[in-house]
Chain A
């Protein structure tokens, strides 16, 4: 009898538990935003306490597919502006496509001194594994491929490549020592956790197309005031300074490096 009651109460809690939040929004963000977005969300929460913001980081291409198939994201930050543009074209956006940053790629290692390297050093026979994001669907991987092709290295290095599912996994392949070096997002390489070992070399952006990044509010997020507030917050001084600190070039600004 007693046991029954316990089971029923567990059951009810599992199925009907809801937190008492003023508002709750769900954010899909490209993996390169991992560290910057965490800080931005913390700042936003301080200004709008009592709300719940859930963020999922992953590959931009996957989010695109998921949102197209009804995934419950209110706002979508893509590392490649082409994805949200396509969603907008398909009538699945509730806002215009807003550019929010331009990303940069770097050569990063935690066992070699990448600060003294250039792409040409990748041909060194001592380097046997180079991690890049999958160029087939990860924006940072596409730019890495372009830069290596522009340098005439792509074909030569074929046998050394290992492909990360997104830019964060690519960094993790290097961090765990399984690849000696990788091409990752500057926004990840400047994070203290990754920066404390080794260093990075900024790959000249004339070697690849710009990594223009954009976001949209999805149909689902259309009527949520908090989503609108968060979208506006991205343009605030505070959010912009966080983005700049993580190496992003912002719309309306020119690259400082």
Chain B
């Protein structure tokens, strides 16, 4: 095998992190995107701006605030203490929380676009046919926006795989817990183990490219069929 056990462990951890984050964001991001797509409140601009923040914020800003907030002296730290669980930095779930923030716009924005593209009409028709709002969402909106869900999930997953700065700041580089693939590569480079760094970096490059290629091919294929 060309990859060491440590490398495989880092890759598996990365995939697990990205999977968990994508699942959580599907649950949280969908209602937010729905609300953003349909609300006419002045509040909408504010929420939209907050959702987009991680796109422009340096990871060091996010990492710094999360480290302080989730530490034993921060508000989130107080909460976790009250719940009787350990503080979040240097844990897998700490990375999950950080990544949920960090990847939030990658889930919400494609979904919001998809919901907006459906428009009000199909929902009004569903309503006149006697469907409740929830029923209309699951039997009309959801199937119509499956492409948006696909795009959002893939982008969220891939973006979480590509995370580095935030993880470096709050992860503590623990093997099997917070040492994800990007950090493992960084460690190889720092330790001058270029051949190992090359192998993992090449895998990451190929993975990212293939994911995006699949997404774009699938999208253009869909567009042709429409």
Contacts and interface: CB of A to CB of B under 8 A. Distances in A.
Interface residues of B, number: 20
Contacts of B191: 61, 136-137
A176 B68 contact: yes
B89 interface: yes
Interface in A138-172: 161-165
Contacts of A59: 190
B111 interface: no
A190 B77 CA distance: 28
Nearest to A165: B168
Contact of A177 (B73, B189, B190, B192): B73
Nearest to B174: A162
B89 A137 contact: no
Contacts of A85: none
Contacts, number: 55
B172 interface: yes
Contacts of B149: none
Nearest to B189: A65
State which size class the interface on A falls in: 20 to 34
B59 interface: no
B87 interface: yes
Nearest to B186: A165
A178 B66 CA distance: 11
A173 interface: yes
Contacts of A173: 89, 172
A79 interface: no
Interface string B31-74: 00000000000000000000000000000000000011011110
A131 interface: yes
Contacts of A178: 67, 70-72, 87, 89-90, 172
Per DSSP, chain B at the interface is: loop
Nearest to A138: B190
B184 to A, nearest CB: 10
Interface in A54-82: 59, 61-62, 64-65
Contacts of A61: 190-192
B86 interface: yes
B187 interface: yes
B172 A131 contact: yes
Interface in B66-94: 67-68, 70-73, 77, 86-87, 89-90
A177 B72 contact: yes
A240 interface: no
Most A CB within 10 A of own CB, among B73, B89, B172, B174: B172
Contacts of B73: 176-177
Contacts of B187: 134, 136-137
Contacts of B72: 177-178
Nearest to A62: B190
A83 B79 CA distance: 45
A165 B173 contact: yes
A137 B192 CA distance: 9
B67 A176 contact: yes
Interface string B186-211: 01011110000000000000000000
Contacts of B192: 61, 64-65, 137
Contacts of B173: 134, 162-165
Contacts of A131: 172
Given A134-B187, A137-B187, A163 B87 contact: no
A26 interface: no
Contacts of B77: 177
A136 B186 CA distance: 11
B172 A176 contact: no
Given A59-B190, A134-B190, 20 more contacts: A65-B189, A65-B192, A131-B172, A134-B173, A134-B187, A136-B187, A136-B191, A137-B190, A137-B192, A162-B90, A162-B173, A163-B172, A164-B173, A165-B168, A173-B172, A176-B68, A176-B73, A178-B70, A179-B90, A179-B172
12 contacts: A59-B190, A64-B192, A129-B172, A131-B172, A136-B187, A136-B190, A137-B192, A163-B172, A164-B172, A173-B89, A176-B71, A178-B90
Interface of A: 59, 61-62, 64-65, 128-129, 131, 134, 136-137, 161-165, 173, 176-179
Q: Please name the 4 residue pairs, one residue from A and one from B, whose CB atoms are nearest each other, closest first.
A: A162-B172, A163-B173, A137-B190, A137-B191
